[in-house]
Amino acid sequence: MTKIGWIALLAAMAGDILVSSLLALLYKDYSSIKMSISALGNPQSPVRTPFNIWMLAEGILFLIALPVLYKHYHSVSGGLTYTLIAFVTVFAIGACIFTCFFSVNETKDVVTTASKIHGAGSVIGFMLFLFVPLLIAILSFKNSESVIGVISIICFVAALVFFALFVMSDKEEFANTAIASEGLWQRLNLIFMYMPLFIVAVKGIIKE
C-alpha cells in the first residue's frame, strides 16, 4: 500500500504538468505562456471534458497519497505532519476537484458564480501548498535528510518568486510586459512547489 501511495503522489504531480501540456496542443487558441492551466477547462474549450476529468483524478490521487505522507513523517513531527496533510488536502479539493465542477471562463472579464467558487478554491489551495516545500524542508532536517532539506528551501524560495509573478501577471499595469506571462509563472510555480515531494516520493518508491 505504501508504494501505491507514492505512485499516486508522483502521478498527480507529473500529470498536472504533462496532461495540461498535451491538452494545450489540442486547443488552437490557447497559449501556455499567457493563459492559466484552468483556462483549459473553460466552457468554450475543445478539451474541457478530458481536462475536467483529469482534474478530478488529480485531486483523488493527492488524497490517496495522504496516508503514505502520514506514515512517512508522523514519527518525525506529528504537528508538522498534520499541517502538511491539511495543506495537501485543501489543494487537492480546492485547486483540483473544484476545478472539475466549477470552471473559469475563457476571459476574466466574464465573472460567474462558478468562476468565483473556482477562484476562491484555487487561491486558497495554491497559497497553502506554497508552504509545502518549507514543511518538507523542516521535516527533512529533523529527519537528518539534509540534502532534501536544502533542496526544499531552494524550491520554497523559487516557488515564492514565481507565485508573486503569477499574481502580478493579472494586474493591468503589467498587461504589456513580460510579467504578463501568467501561464509560464504558474507552471514554474507548480514545478518548484512539487519538486520536494517528488524527490521524497521517488526515494520512497526506491526504498520499497
Domain boundaries, the chain: 2-207
Query: At residue 123, does pLDDT exceed 90?
Result: no
Query: Which pLDDT band, with edges at 50, 70 and 90, does 111 fall under?
Result: low
What's the confidence (pLDDT) of residue 126? 92
- Mean pLDDT (whole number) for 102-115: 64
User: How many CA atoms lie less than 13 Å away from 152 in the CB half-sphere?
Assistant: 23
Amino acid at 61: L
pLDDT in tens, 71-87: 999 999 999 999 999 99
- Is the overall model pTM greater than 0.85, yes or no? yes
pLDDT in tens, 135-187: 999 999 999 999 999 999 999 999 999 999 998 988 888 878 889 899 999 99
Query: Which pLDDT band, with edges at 50, 70 and 90, does 208 fall under?
Result: confident
What's the confidence (pLDDT) of residue 60? 97
What's the confidence (pLDDT) of residue 136? 98
Residue 23 or 121, more confident: 23
